[in-house]
Chain A
Amino acid sequence: EPEVTQTPSHQVTQMGQEVILRCVPISNHLYFYWYRQILGQKVEFLVSFYNNEISEKSEIFDDQFSVERPDGSNFTLKIRSTKLEDSAMYFCASTPGQGGAGELFFGEGSRLTVL
């Protein structure tokens, strides 16, 4: 069964360092998302991506964040200069057409720890 894969599963970094989280969405999906979940808290929307551009982003997704789909298969989230409060689980998700209205397929997440 096709699945969304994320790497790394866990990354530890120093404050101020750049981090890139990678995702391979399901191959025929058209809409891509990043969400994050601080330990024990709600799942927060970061950004949605369709047709090679950001379709919506949240207030969390400031200039320190960027997304890219560099090669038609990978979907990356970059945090330019990490802060302590960026420590969280980051989930990638994708969905096929239907205007993005259907169910989301999530990866297992990348745990980011900022020291």
Chain B
Amino acid sequence: SQQGEEDPQALSIQEGENATMNCSYKTSINNLQWYRQNSGRGLVHLILIRSNEREKHSGRLRVTLDTSKKSSSLLITASRAADTASYFCATRGSNYKLTFGKGTLLTVNP
């Protein structure tokens, strides 16, 4: 079983619309993080939410965490063409490693 599975796998929207991506996980976590990856580039950290937090905001990003359902969502408001990228959730348990999901490919059409 996979820890950190995003859905949808791909999402295509128009500029100005909101984009919502979901992540589910299976084991208990210390925190959950979202990363962005432009094609062929490294991953860039977007936001971290701790297991005792329910919601967090950063600019146009809003992350929610529901530990009872083992799920998280990332909302990007007022999307721009430059938001086109893959978005990954990653979970950290009690150990050192961060476990990534398969990602959502977001395409924002101008």
- Specify which of A43, A105, A108 lies most central, judged by the most chain B CB atoms within 10 Å of its CB: A43
- Tell whether, in the assembled complex, residue A43 and residue B43 are in contact, meaning their CB atoms are under 8 Å apart: yes
Question: A35 — which chain B residues lie within 8 A by C-beta?
Answer: 100
- Tell whether, in the assembled complex, residue A41 and residue B96 are in contact, meaning their CB atoms are under 8 Å apart: no
Assembly CA distance A48 to B94 (angstroms): 13
B47 nearest CB neighbor, chain A only:
A103
Question: A75 — which chain B residues lie within 8 A by C-beta?
Answer: none
- Tell whether, in the assembled complex, residue A42 and residue B45 are in contact, meaning their CB atoms are under 8 Å apart: no
Question: A91 — which chain B residues lie within 8 A by C-beta?
Answer: 42-43
Question: A48 — which chain B residues lie within 8 A by C-beta?
Answer: 96-97
Known: A104-B45, A106-B44, A108-B41. A50 touches B102 (CB 8 A): no
How many chain B residues touch the partner (CB < 8 A)? 23
Closest beta carbon of chain A to B29's beta carbon, Å: 10
Q: Is the interface of A mostly helix, strand, loop or mixed?
A: strand
A residues neighboring B (CB under 8 Å): 4, 31, 33, 35, 41-45, 48, 50, 55-56, 58, 89, 91, 93, 100-109
A32 nearest CB neighbor, chain B only:
B96
- Tell whether, in the assembled complex, residue B45 and residue A105 are in contact, meaning their CB atoms are under 8 Å apart: yes
Question: B101 — which chain A residues lie within 8 A by C-beta?
Answer: 42
21 contacts between A and B (CB under 8 A): A4-B42, A33-B97, A41-B102, A42-B103, A43-B88, A43-B100, A44-B100, A45-B98, A45-B100, A56-B95, A89-B40, A91-B42, A101-B30, A103-B33, A104-B43, A104-B98, A106-B35, A106-B43, A108-B42, A109-B41, A109-B42
Closest beta carbon of chain B to A79's beta carbon, Å: 19
Shortest 4 CB-CB contacts between residues of A and residues of B? A103-B45, A43-B100, A48-B96, A106-B42
